[in-house]
Amino acid sequence: MSDDLSHLVCARICHDLVSPLGAISNGVELLSLSNEGQSAPELDLISQCADEANARLLLYRVAFGLGSDTVMSDAEIHETLAPLTRHGRLTLQWEISAPVTRSELRLAALILMALEREMPHGGHVVVQAGEDGRWYITAQSPRLEIRSELWAGMTQHAEPPEACEAPSVVQFPLAGRVAASLGRTIDIRFEPERITITA
């Protein structure tokens, strides 16, 4: 399957799931109202899960869908990336003030999803723009779990290593492909408690 077609498949799946998840959220709200505003713990759990699923779908729609030259607003950028910091393990400092297209946000989302996997114990990520026009992404954590073979799948333009074939790590090789399509290269530097990515 071609890359474009697979992105369309992802977009279709996300699109079709948004409506039923929205209906679940609305149904929970109506049940809460019918209970005189007193929400049961079970309803709270359903509502929380539906909200998280909706937020993840938005992130996946950008990360795995088709990119474009459409400029994203600050609100759209923060809404898209919000699931990465939802549970408080990761904090994100977005310092890009220049216009960001959907394709560029797609690249950022994939890189941040890769960092999320390597920082299971939490940490802090800063995204900045350099004077050279490249982005500098710095991730700090006292306990990094770096798998170099996954990062090789991001920086090498050849077929990704076998380690990158699992669905849970598809963001690594895909980030490399998206960067190449934007005419960018990804450079990575590892330190004991820090990962610095230039893209």
pLDDT of residue 41: 81
Q: What are phi and psi of 192, to 5 degrees?
A: -55, -40
pLDDT string in tens for the chain (199-residue length): 445 666 667 777 777 777 777 788 888 778 777 766 566 787 788 878 888 888 898 999 999 988 899 999 999 999 999 999 988 889 999 999 999 999 999 999 999 999 999 998 999 999 999 988 899 999 999 989 898 888 988 886 555 556 566 778 889 999 999 999 999 999 999 998 999 999 9
Tell me the three state secondary structure of residue 189. strand
Q: pTM of the predicted model, to two decimals?
A: 0.85
Q: What is the pLDDT of residue 1?
A: 46
* pLDDT score, position 62: 93
pLDDT at 111: 97
pLDDT score at 110: 96
Count the neighbouring beta carbons within 10 Å of the beta carbon of residue 160: 21
Q: Which residue has the tokens 């039923």?
A: 20
Topology given in CATH for the domain delimited by 71-199: Heat Shock Protein 90 (3.30.565)
Rounded Cα gap, residues 113 and 64, in angstroms: 11
Pairwise CA distance, residues 11 & 27, whole Å: 25
What is the pairing mode between strands 194-198 and 135-140? Answer: antiparallel
- Alpha-carbon gap, residue 53 to 47, rounded angstroms: 10
